[in-house]
Amino acid sequence: LGDLYSHDYYIEYECIDPQTGQAETIEDVIMEWEPEKAVKWYQMAYEHGDKSVCLKLLDLWYYRPSEKALEWIDKLPDQTDPEFNYRAGRICVKFKKYSEAEKWFKKCAQNADAKMIYDIGVAGYNYDMFEDTCGVDVDYLYWFKLAYEKGDIRSAFEIGTIYYYGRNGVQKDLEKATEWFEILYEDKEASVKEDYYYYYYGSIKFLILIYGEQNSPKADKKKMYELMQEFFRINPDLHEPWYRIR
């Protein structure tokens, strides 16, 4: 019953356009989701021993925030499932309970894979939720670096952009930005992996800008033109870097 009320239901049918004579697919909602009822039934299932509904409840509360979610999470015993801890942290972020979110994310990191740790970094970066505890590096940099150490190459791009722009309490540092963008650029496997392709050519774009700026401590026209050739090889229709550098 929780599953029944947690989704919209559609019906598809075809009709003929009287003017063109062509068939057109129409999609109508025949039943809209009712999150309050879904929560009620999921909680009842949990109370009767079905622990698998925990993640469904957390997803439901993330997209339809409710203060009841925080109360319910606090009453649960400690969880070892990283998925649960990550989703509980996301809900705390929604309510700006940042210290609580950090607690859940740290629990999550004990058993999480690189992708989930990367997602924690994204949550911290987007909401600027973590306190500055280690000098220039605020905690979302810690999460991105941890994700990188565990094998998530996308994190190198995220760290590079943070240093490039000097965002969220981190000082702008083109030297460090270049270091992280070059890590990604030199990983040629990233250039052929569909999930990493955006980050690979994005790192090239930033390196072009860094090497092409006259006042940049990393100014190097030769490297800039080499990178341009690679950038336009993989993006023949994109010309933005030319205008930015000009």
Phi, psi of 60 (to 5 degrees): -65, -45
What's the pLDDT at 243?
A: 46
More confident residue, 240 or 166: 166
pLDDT per residue as tens digits for the range 13-24: 677 767 777 777
- The region of weakest confidence among 6-15, 29-38, 53-62, 83-92 is 6-15
Count CA atoms closer than 13 A to 95's CA, side-chain side: 20
What's the pLDDT at 160?
A: 93
pLDDT per residue as tens digits for the range 127-184: 655 554 434 344 778 889 989 998 888 899 999 998 998 876 788 899 999 999 999 8
Nearest Cα residue to 83 out of 50, 119, 34, 40: 119
7 band by pLDDT with thresholds 50, 70 and 90 = low
What's the pLDDT at 178?
A: 93
Q: Is pLDDT of 232 > 70?
A: yes
Measured in whole angstroms, how far is the alpha carbon of residue 112 from the centre of its chain? 15
pLDDT per residue as tens digits for the range 49-64: 887 787 888 888 777 7
pLDDT per residue as tens digits for the range 195-231: 677 888 888 889 988 988 877 778 888 888 888 887 7
What's the pLDDT at 159?
A: 92
What's the pLDDT at 28?
A: 63
Phi, psi of 25 (to 5 degrees): -85, 125
What's the pLDDT at 58?
A: 81
Give the pTM. 0.70
Q: Which residue has the tokens 């025949």?
A: 30
Distance between CA atoms of residues 183 and 42, nearest Å:
45
What's the pLDDT at 76?
A: 75
Q: Is pLDDT of 8 > 50?
A: yes
Please provide the average confidence, as pLDDT, over all residues in the chain. 77
Helix 154-165 to helix 139-149 angle (10° resolution) is 150
What's the pLDDT at 177?
A: 93
pLDDT per residue as tens digits for the range 171-194: 889 999 999 999 988 886 665 566
Q: Is pLDDT of 126 > 70?
A: no
> Of all residues in the chain, what percent carry a pLDDT higher than 90?
8
